[in-house]
Structure 1
Amino acid sequence: MEVEAAGHNKFEVNFTGKSIIRATNPLPGPHVLALSNLDLLSGRFPVTYFYFYCTPLVSNFTSNIVDILKSSLAETLNHYYPFAGKIVQNPNTSEPEIVCDNSGALVVEAHANIPLKELNFYNLNQSLQGKLVSLIPNFPLQVQVTKYTCGGISLTFTFDHALGDASAFGKFLVSWSEIAQRKPISCIPDHRRNLCARFPTTYHPSLDQTFVKCTIDEIINMPTTRIRLKRLYHIDASSIDRLQTLACIDGNKRTKIEAFSAYVWKVMVNAIDQSHSTCKMGWLVDGRARICQGGDENSMSNYIGNVLSVAFAEASVIGLKTGSISDIANDVHDAISKVTNQDHFLDLIDWIECHRPGLMLSRIVLGRGGPALVLSSGRRFPVTEVDFGFGSPVLGTVCSTIERIGVGYLNQRPSGRGDGSWTVSAILWPELAAALESDSIFQPMSAAHLQL
Structure 2
Amino acid sequence: MKMICLPIFLFFFPKVLVITQRADCRVPKQDESNCDLTNHHPASCSRHRSLVSYLRVHPRATSVSAVGYVMPPAERPAVAVEVVSRALVQASDPPRGIPAVLPVSNLDLILGSFHVFFIAVYPPPAAGFPAVAAAARAALPAFLSRFYPFAGRVVTNASTGVPEVVCGNAGAELVVARAGAELADVDFADADASLGRIQVPFERGLALSLQLVRFACGGFSLTWGTDHLLVDGHGLTTLPNAWAEMLVGGGLSWEPHHDRASLFRPRSPPRYSPSLDAEFVRYDPANLPNALLAAALVRRNYVVDAADVDRLRAAASGPERRATRLEALSAHVWKLLAAAVGGSDTRCRMAWLVDGRRRLDPAKYNKTHVNNYLGNVVTYASREAAVHTVRTAPLADVATMAAAAIAEVFRQERYEELVDWMEARKGVFAEGGKWTEAVGLGTGSPALVVSAFVPFRVEGDFGFGRPRLVMPWVRPGRLGSAAMTVIRSPAGDGSWLVTARMWPRLADAVDADPDAVFKPATAERLGFAAPRCCELGATGTAQHAVSRM
TM-score strictly above 0.5? yes
Matches within 5 A, 1:76-95: 76-95=143-162
Moved more, 227-236 or 272-281: 272-281
Conserved 8 A contact 2:112-2:228: yes
User: 1:401-412 to 2 correspondence within 5 Å?
Assistant: 401-412=475-486
Could you report, residue by residue, the CA deviation over 1:310-355 in whole angstroms, capped at 9, with x for unpaired residues? 0000100110111110010111111100011111111111111111
1:376 equivalent in structure 2: 451
Go from structure 1 to structure 2 and tell me whether the alpha carbon gap of 1:279 and 1:251 turns closer, same or farther (over 3 Å shift): same
What's 1:274 paired with?
343
- Following the alignment from structure 1 to structure 2, what is the Cα–Cα distance between the partners of residues 217 and 22? 40
| 8 Å CA contact 1:175, 1:186 repeated in 2 | no
Residues 341-352 of structure 1 correspond to what in structure 2 (within 5 A)? 341-352=411-422
Q: In structure 2, how many angstroms separate the alpha carbons of the residues matched to 1:9 and 1:201?
A: 54
Kept in 2, the 8 Å contact 1:383–1:393? The answer is no
2:184 to 108, 117, 142: 117
Letter of the 2:457 counterpart: P
Residue type matched to 1:44 in 2?
S
Give the equivalent residue in structure 1 for 2:545.
none
Give the aligned partner of residue 53 of structure 1.
Answer: 122
Deviates more, 1:427-436 or 1:305-314: 427-436
- Corresponding position: 1:302 with 2:368: no
Question: Higher Cα Rg: structure 1 or 2?
Answer: 2
Residue 173 of structure 1: CA displacement? Answer: 1.7
Tell me whether 37-46 or 64-73 shows the greater mean CA deviation.
64-73
2:78–2:193 Cα contact (<8 Å) kept: no
Q: 1:35-434 counterparts in 2 under 5 A?
A: 35-58=104-127, 61-193=128-260, 194-214=263-283, 224-225=293-294, 228-272=297-341, 274-294=343-363, 297=367, 299-357=369-427, 358=429, 359-384=434-459, 386-434=460-508
- 3-state SS of paired residue (1:181): helix
- Residues in 1 aligned to 2:294 and 2:343: alpha-carbon distance in whole angstroms: 16
Deviations 1:410-449 (A, max 9, x none): 1111112211010011111111111112131111101121
**Amino acid of the structure 1 residue aligned with 2:406:** I
- Superposed CA RMSD in Å reads 2.3
Aligned AA (2:453): G
1:22 alignment partner, one of 87, 90, 97: 90
Alignment equivalent of 2:524, drawn from 435, 448, 451: 448
- Secondary structure at the aligned position of 1:300 is classed as helix
Q: Give the 3 Å change call, closer, same or farther, for CA 239–198 of structure 1 in structure 2.
A: same
1:133 positional shift: 2.4
2:510 paired with 1:436 = yes
CA shift for structure 1 position 127: 2.2
Q: Is the 8 A contact 1:222 1:406 kept in 2?
A: no
Corresponding residue of 2:58: 3
Instruction: Give the CA deviation at 1:203.
Output: 0.8
Of residues 305-314 and 291-300 in structure 1, the stretch that sits farther from structure 2 once superposed is: 291-300
Matched residue type, 1:343: E
CA distance in 2: counterparts of 1:309 and 1:418, whole angstroms: 28
Give the secondary-structure state (helix, strand or coil) at the position aligned to 1:159: strand
Q: Classify 1:347/1:10 alpha carbon distance in 2 versus 1 (closer, same or farther; 3 Å).
A: closer
- Give yes or no for contact 1:223–1:367 (8 Å, CA) kept in 2: no
Rounded Cα–Cα distance in structure 1 between residues aligned with 2:291 and 2:264: 29
**Higher RCO (C-alpha 8 Å, min separation 6):** 1
Q: Percent identity?
A: 34
Q: 1:409 offset after TM fit, Å? A: 1.1
Supply the distance in 2 between the matched residues of 1:121 and 1:201 (Cα, whole angstroms): 47
> Are residues 89 and 220 of structure 1, via their aligned partners in 2, closer, same or farther at CA, if it must alter by over 3 Å?
farther
Q: CA offset at residue 68 of structure 1? A: 0.9
Supply the distance in 1 between the matched residues of 2:458 and 2:343 (Cα, whole angstroms): 39
Q: Distance in 1 between matches of 2:492 and 2:362?
A: 34
Name the residue aligned to 1:31: 100
| C-alpha displacement of 1:362 | 1.1
Q: What TM-score results when the alignment is normalised by the length of structure 2?
A: 0.77
Q: Partners in 2 of 1:88 and 1:290 — Cα distance?
A: 31
Q: Quote the Cα distance in structure 2 between the aligned partners of 1:352 and 1:9.
A: 45
C-alpha separation between the residues in 2 aligned to 1:435 and 1:55? 36
Shift of residue 211, structure 1, vs aligned partner: 2.1
Paired letter, 2:527: Q
Contact 1:399–1:426 at 8 Å: present in 2 too?
Answer: no
Where does structure 2 lack aligned partners over 5 or more consecutive residues? 1-53, 62-71, 529-549
Q: Deviations over 1:43-63 (max 9, x none)?
A: 1121111111111134xx422
For residues 510 and 472 of structure 2, the distance between their equivalents in structure 1, rounded to whole angstroms, comes to: 19
Q: 1:227 touches 1:406 (CA, 8 Å); kept in 2?
A: no
Between the aligned partners of 1:144 and 1:102, the Cα distance in structure 2 is: 19
Residue 212 of structure 1, CA deviation: 3.0
Larger deviation: 175-184 or 311-320?
175-184
| Deviations 1:217-274, CA, capped at 9 Å, x for gaps | 7679789445631211000111111110011134311100001101100110122273
After the TM superposition, which of the residue ranges 30-39 and 270-279 deviates more from structure 2?
270-279
Q: 2:59 touches 2:522 (CA, 8 Å); kept in 1?
A: no
The aligned amino acid for 1:21 is V
- Per the TM alignment, residue 149 of structure 1 is displaced from its structure 2 partner at its CA by 1.9
Counterpart CA distance in 2 for 1:269 and 1:234 is 22
TM-score between the two structures when normalised by the length of structure 1: 0.93
**Structure 2 SS opposite 1:234:** strand
Structure 1, unaligned stretches of length 5 or more? none
Count of residue pairs the alignment pairs up: 449
Shift of 1:403: 3.2
Secondary structure at the counterpart of residue 449 of structure 1: helix
